Structure 1
Amino acid sequence: MEAIKINELISAVKGTLINNLNNIDDNEIIITNLSTDSRNIGAGDLFIPLVGDKYDGHDFIPVAFEKGASFCLSQRRDIKVPEGKGLIIVADTKQALMDLASYYRSCFSIPVIAVTGSVGKTSTKDMITSVLKQEYKVLSTKGNFNNEIGVPLTIFNLSKEHEIAVIEMGMNHFGEIHNLSKIAKPDMAVITNIGTSHIENLGSKEGILKAKSEIFDYMNKEGKVFLNGDDDLLKTLKNKLSFPICYFGFEDNNDIYAKNIEQKGLEGINASIVWDSNEILIKIPSLGKHMVYNALVAVAIGLELGMTIESIKEGIKKYHASKMRMNISKTKKGNYIINDAYNASPQSMKAALDVLSELKEGKRKIAVLGDMLELGSYSKQAHEEVGYYLAKKSLDYLFTLGEEAKNISQAAIDGGMDKEKVFAFLDQEELFNKLNTIIDTKDMILFKASRGMYLEKTVEKIEEVK
């Protein structure tokens, strides 16, 4: 984080300073670090206490001051201000965090690429980052820092050395992407697809499209948009935006498209990428045909920024997936694990099942699937669709975890899968115990569920079994 003068900070958050600074000139005071976690506060830092359903960060303001914080934001005036410290009163600390991040972003003139979509946001962000790093110093979203708290904290990591930023944007309600766009002020925007994730809160896929389209609200008027041209809803945005659009996909009517896609097992995928009169061969070191979409938009953005073909191809070749996103490992017992347990939707479930069924490696194919959350009234149908889809994949065993995932199991049986090979559990320990009696050396096991199912607990146990 670069230094911010305290007067500029107060103005950005629309705050009022209550201080005990012994007449120190406010113009001479700067902040070079901030945190929303009092445990990470150091000397001279700014502490921003957030308020949640089960906690109130204001309770930790005294601790933050004791640990060396020079200033704290606060919605409350009943906080004792120690000598030499300052309290900045704001209407809402979370809004102040976002306002400060928006101001801080405006201090940099580098291009910002924003990435959203129902499925594949993180892998797309990672692919774009891998390509851009071949020629630029890149700031990229880490982990799941893609919401109204995570995006501001990511923005504060911008420094003078960065030449470009890739910011992931997630949401589960209307207005969230709008707020994130205001913070990041993107020069380029990517929407990977429109699926059913968070449909419980957004009502329909059309509602999800509307929410995702908020990414354009604070976009640079000279910017460019990159959309999945194989997505029926994203196609409807053609000629409706004030920005030029680059459509990417598998269909040859897209501005940039893929052909000759070749699955190479655990080595990944090869594909030819075509645009205008150009064609290149790329090698993607990751599983799943869906990863070609991520590579397509990474190529398109690299070309837009004037990168060399060699750098773009090298960036794709060096791609590394984030944790619990199609990660391949081998257990002590000799099994192969596909850990895709970070999150799940009907679309990503089917894509993961495609990967499992198409791999040549693995003696037997076993799917371990958990609940897909936030699907509302569509949940039962969505889980059943996955079950029927799975039944056609000739898998050897199916294990499910959770009340909703029972519908996957039943639909798989109804779809023709041997009921003796299907097991449904509500308890993860019971699932592990049964799974451990079934798996054998060289079996290929897929783990996938929504984040709230914590299916990685079983993955970790299986990895240690000898």
Structure 2
Amino acid sequence: MKPLTVKNLTVITAGNLVQGSEETLIQHGAYRLKQVKKTNTALFTSKRIVNWKSLEPLYPLVLVTDWSYSHNEIPRQIITIKVTNADEAYWKFVNFYRDQFNIPVVTITGTSGKTTTKEMIKHILSAEKKVSATTLSSNSRTASLQYLLSIDEETEAAVFETAVGSPGDVTKAGKYFKPTIGIITNIGAHHLNYCKTLEGYIQAKGEMLDIIHPKGTLIINAEDKNTKKIDFSRFPGNIIKIGKHESCDFRAINIRYHNNGMLFTIIHNNKSFEVFVPGFGEHQVYNALEAIAAVYEIGITIPMAAKQLQSFRHLNKQLQLFEGINHSVLIDDTWSITTTSLEAALKVLQALGKDKKKIAVIGTITDLGSWGYIIHEQAGELIHQIGVDVLVTIGEHARIMADHAVDLGLSSPVYTFKNSLLAYKLLQDIVDENTILLVKGDMYSKQVSNLATDLKRKQGLPPE
């Protein structure tokens, strides 16, 4: 954080310094008591603090409050700024802080690929610039302030990921980050327990158009069917399209698998460039296109971006390859699961599994609410369309996709289990050196995630 004095903060918030030195430096910010971890923190809160004793190790502490404390209730060591409305004071501070920095800020949303795209952009920019960024996929509402305050005088660019758990999440993130560049990676079906309908989810993702600077840039996957449903006419800035179609501004052709990643040719402004990106799957090419388009807007040339991408480190549990039990090939894709990422994983399984027995182990798709049955049926359609040699599902809801795939005509052997122990015992019997095995789930499904770990052993025993 770029430090500021209590005097500065008092002016910014239109507050009144009740007690303490106006020259004290503020080096951290918080809007919840539990977020106060260090000295010299400004805490914005309307709640009454009772346990002052626990805060003593964190002095000096600056309290920005609209609570009417009684005389001498606040310890003299607490620097206190009284404001009319603590929430309004907080947003005055946030707006002031963000507006101090005239730097490119990239904000990313989407159903799949946001963390990977964000990490690619960070990796490319870090070769020449000091970059602030969200940590892996930590993109909760409560983390936004700390990410904003990670920007300081030395920061030359920032890239932040924002998820959609509920409508308004992207809008709220925009109030913090005020992006100059926004990216929508793709829109599948997710978080329908809060967004209620797919249309509501698409609308929530479309909030990205409202938070980008009016003269900024929006980057979209021009071939994503749900992204196309957004009304882009309300966005006054520049729209960049990525994809395989010749109408795209950043176009990928000649896509092929190569060693531990993907090779492709990128066409931009009638010029072509060869690019290698670590990580398997055509979806990884789209991630790379979005990242290259973003850094190009910031001033990084395509050859420089391509050179940096070669050393990009693929993320854990995202289509990672291992030697599995009985000398098989194991694909661990247990970071997250949506129908979008399931389709990508199944296509990778098909591409890497030529002349091998292809087994897919799939867990439940979460955060669907009343849409659970329909979305799991859609997953079953994907399995039927793309195909596997053996299908194994784990969990009651995952069985819906198996049953639907069979109803549609999937003739491969299908096994449905309630727990991973029984699945492991089956796999130990049917997996051999001619098998490629995909394990697909998310970080919240410990059974599926732990199964992937157990299957990485060369000579495995059933888990206890």
TM-score (norm 2): 0.85
Q: Shift of residue 308 of structure 1?
A: 2.5
Residue 41 of structure 1 corresponds to which residue in structure 2? Answer: 37
Task: Determine if the alignment matches structure 1 residue 317 to structure 2 residue 313.
Answer: no
Cα distance in 2, alignment partners of residues 225 and 15 from structure 1: 38
Distance 1:388 1:14, change over 3 A: farther
CA shift for structure 1 position 137: 2.0
CA contact (8 A) 1:284 1:319 kept: yes
Show the counterpart of 2:119.
126
- In the alignment, the residues of structure 2 paired with residue 99 and residue 120 of structure 1 have an alpha-carbon distance, to the nearest angstrom, of 33
Aligned to 2:4: 4
Answer yes or no: is the 8 Å Cα contact 1:392–1:415 preserved in 2. no
Shift of 1:112: 0.3
| Residues 353, 436 of structure 2: 8 Å contact kept | no
Cα distance per residue 1:292-342 (max 9 Å; x no partner): 111112222232233233211112212223333233333586443322222
Amino acid in the other structure paired with 2:27: T
| Corresponding position of 2:224 | 231
Per-residue deviation, 1:381: 2.3
Taking only aligned residues, the RMSD between alpha carbons, in angstroms, comes to 3.4
CA distance, structure 2, for counterparts of residue 232 and residue 422 of structure 1: 30
Q: What SS does structure 2 have at the residue aligned with 1:193?
A: coil
Aligned equivalent of 1:269 = 262
Equivalent in 384, 387, 400 of residue 377 of structure 2 = 384
Equivalence for 1:54: none
Equivalent residue for 2:286?
293
The answer (yes or no) to whether the contact 2:326–2:431 under 8 Å persists in 1 is no
User: How far did 1:9 drift?
Assistant: 4.0
Question: Given the alignment of the two structures, is residue 427 of structure 1 paired with residue 423 of structure 2, yes or no?
Answer: no
Residue 410 in 1 paired to residue 403 in 2?
yes
Q: Equivalents in 2 of 1:360, 1:425: separation in Å? A: 24
User: Are 1:70 and 2:61 matched, yes or no?
Assistant: yes
Paired residue secondary structure (1:114): strand
C-alpha change, 1:38 and 1:258, in structure 2 (3 Å) is: same
Instruction: Give the alignment's TM-score, normalised by structure 1.
Output: 0.85
TM-superposed deviation, 1:440: 3.9
Provide Cα deviations, 1:243-283, integer angstroms capped at 9, x if missing partner: 1211111111122211111122x521111111221111111
The farther-off stretch of 358-367 and 242-251 is 358-367
Which of these residues, 135, 140, 145, is aligned with residue 133 of structure 2?
A: 140
Q: For 1:339, what is the secondary structure of its paired residue?
A: strand
State the distance in 1 between where 2:279 and 2:240 align.
Answer: 24
Q: Name the CA distance, whole Å, in 1 between partners of 2:354 and 2:59.
A: 55
Unaligned stretches of 5+ in structure 1? 52-56
Cα drift, residue 434 of structure 1: 4.4
Question: Are positions 1:84 and 2:77 aligned together?
Answer: yes
Alpha-carbon distance in 1 for matches of 2:176, 2:108: 14
* More off after superposition, 75-84 vs 268-277: 75-84
State yes or no: 1:250 paired with 2:241.
no
Are the aligned partners of 2:66 and 2:82 in contact in 1 as well (CA < 8 Å)? yes
Counterpart position of 2:462: none
CA distance in 2, matches of 1:377, 1:91: 43
Q: Which amino acid aligns with 1:355?
A: V
Alpha-carbon separation, structure 2, partners of 1:237 and 1:351: 26
Return closer, same or farther for 1:428/1:309 CA change in 2, 3 Å cut-off: same
Identify which range, 199-208 or 88-97, moves more after superposition.
88-97
* 1:452 matched residue in structure 2: 444
- Taking the aligned partners of 2:456 and 2:14, their CA distance within structure 1 comes to 51
Structure-to-structure mapping, 1:68-217, within 5 angstroms = 68=59, 70-71=61-62, 81-86=74-79, 100-217=93-210
Percent identity over the alignment?
Answer: 25
Contact 1:49 1:60 in 2 (8 A): no
- Consecutive unaligned residues of structure 2, counting only runs of 5 or more, are 460-464
Residues 169, 58 of structure 1: CA spacing in aligned structure 2 closer, same or farther, 3 A cutoff?
A: farther
Give the distance between the partners of 1:429 and 1:93, measured in 2 at CA: 52
- Contact 1:134–1:312, Cα closer than 8 Å, also in 2: no
Q: Residue type matched to 1:30 in 2?
A: L
Kept in 2: contact 1:98–1:149 (CA 8 A): no
Per the alignment, residue 253 of structure 2 pairs with 259
Asked whether the 8 Å contact 1:145–1:154 carries over to 2, the reply is no
Matching residue's letter, 1:183: Y
Question: Which moved further from structure 2: 213-222 or 254-263?
Answer: 213-222
| C-alpha distance in 2 between matches for 1:288 and 1:34 | 41
**Equivalents in 1 of 2:65, 2:419: separation in Å?**
42
